[in-house]
Amino acid sequence: MKTTLKNKELNMYLTKKNKSQNWLAYHLKISSGYMSQLMNGARHPSPKMRERIMKALPELIFDDLFLVIEENL
**Could you write out the DSSP letters of every residue in 1-54?**
-EEEE-HHHHHHHHHHTT--HHHHHHHHT--HHHHHHHHHTSS---HHHHHHHH
Residue 71 has pLDDT above 90, yes or no: no
Task: Please state whether 31 falls in left (phi above 0), alpha (psi between -120 and 50) or beta.
Answer: beta
pTM of the model: 0.88
The predicted-structure confidence for 16-70, as pLDDT tens digits, reads as follows 999 999 999 999 999 999 999 999 999 999 999 999 999 999 999 999 999 998 8
Residue 47 Cα to chain centre, angstroms: 11
Cβ–Cβ under 8 Å, residues 62 and 55: no
Does the domain made of 2-69 have the CATH classification 1.10.260.40?
A: yes
Domain ranges within the chain, ordered by starting residue: 2-69
